[in-house]
Structure 1
């Protein structure tokens, strides 16, 4: 025991230096790990928000196309009613109107980005306004549009 105390009293500066170096190494490893996790999380956020933007652009294009076709369908219904009430003879152009009578449009939103955000946590998005708008779009607006059948005036 005396021998151990003797060695410790002679080499205590070396041992303290080793303890300090090991402590700094451990703290550095934790800092590096934390930085790496933050970087990965930031990259994930960027990827998810990019996917959401792409999904929204696709959804807007789909809804715009549906809207145009529904407007044509509405006009076709009006034309067919006029044909019926006016006793017009059949014309080739009427076949398009009759075709539009059975046309149906519906929207199925692309949700890959939103599903990824939900899965990884909404806290990935730091901007509260952006987070609220994304949730409002995917949880309120798009389900209403998807639930609408064709030829609804408020679509």
Structure 2
């Protein structure tokens, strides 16, 4: 093709058709420029298509991660509801000075329950590595960052610190209870049941456990509501990009 255009220019010069030569040369330059612009446009289109595909994949990953975290928090809520209920029953039992029975053994383990847990961050870390600007919708991008960085971070921090709050009670528990494991269940038995019935310190420990459970559930429910809102925003964004 290059030889073809070159031959035309040479023929025009040999025939002394200088005016036509310059017009042709200019036309050729224009064609080259147009060709370059078209190539750039195609390249930009391909890059945009790749970026859009990457964004769509990230949004789908985030949606799955949010659903997983919602399930984790829902499970935690059920666990804390049970802890709250057991704490109430134990407090009632202590207040009524009821006799000891074997079913109380699992209730006495309340302060030893594990409050810490983990949420899924893999999709968010992937987004971070790709660059937050990959999410073209600025409002959605900011909401994603806020939920993972702030809301998830706060609920995790609060619950992971719960174990630290029980450290002052460790000495009391070690002194007045003995711990065993039966069928993978922690069993805590008081050394002196009558003393536990009259101990305001132990009652405070159980009351504190109940309050923490209520607070954790309240916070978890708030975060679940925000997860649902963000999932809806992501769903709408995915639909807009797959039309």
Please say if 1:41 is aligned against 2:65: no
Is 1:89 paired with 2:120?
no
What displacement does 1:12 show?
A: 4.1
Is residue 131 from structure 1 mapped to residue 141 from structure 2 by the alignment? yes
Contact 1:107–1:145 (CA under 8 A) maintained in structure 2:
no
Cα deviation digits, residues 52-109 of structure 1 (max 9, x gap):
1111111111011011101211222232333344232314x43443455432132322
Structure 1 stretches of 4+ moved >6 Å: none
Q: Normalising by the residue count of structure 2, what TM-score does the alignment of the two structures yield? A: 0.53
Counterparts of 2:105 and 2:46, CA distance in 1: 64
Aligned to 2:215: 154
Structure 1 residue 133 displacement after superposition: 1.7
Q: Residue by residue, what CA displacement relative to the aligned partner does 1:116-153 show, whole Å, maximum 9, x if unpaired?
A: 22223332223333222212111111111111235534
- Structure 2, unmatched stretches of 5+, are 1-9, 163-208, 217-243
Q: Taking structure 1 as the reference length, what is the TM-score of the superposition?
A: 0.79
- Superposed CA RMSD in Å reads 2.7
Select between 95-104 and 109-118 the one with higher mean Cα deviation. Answer: 95-104
Structure with greater strand percent: 2
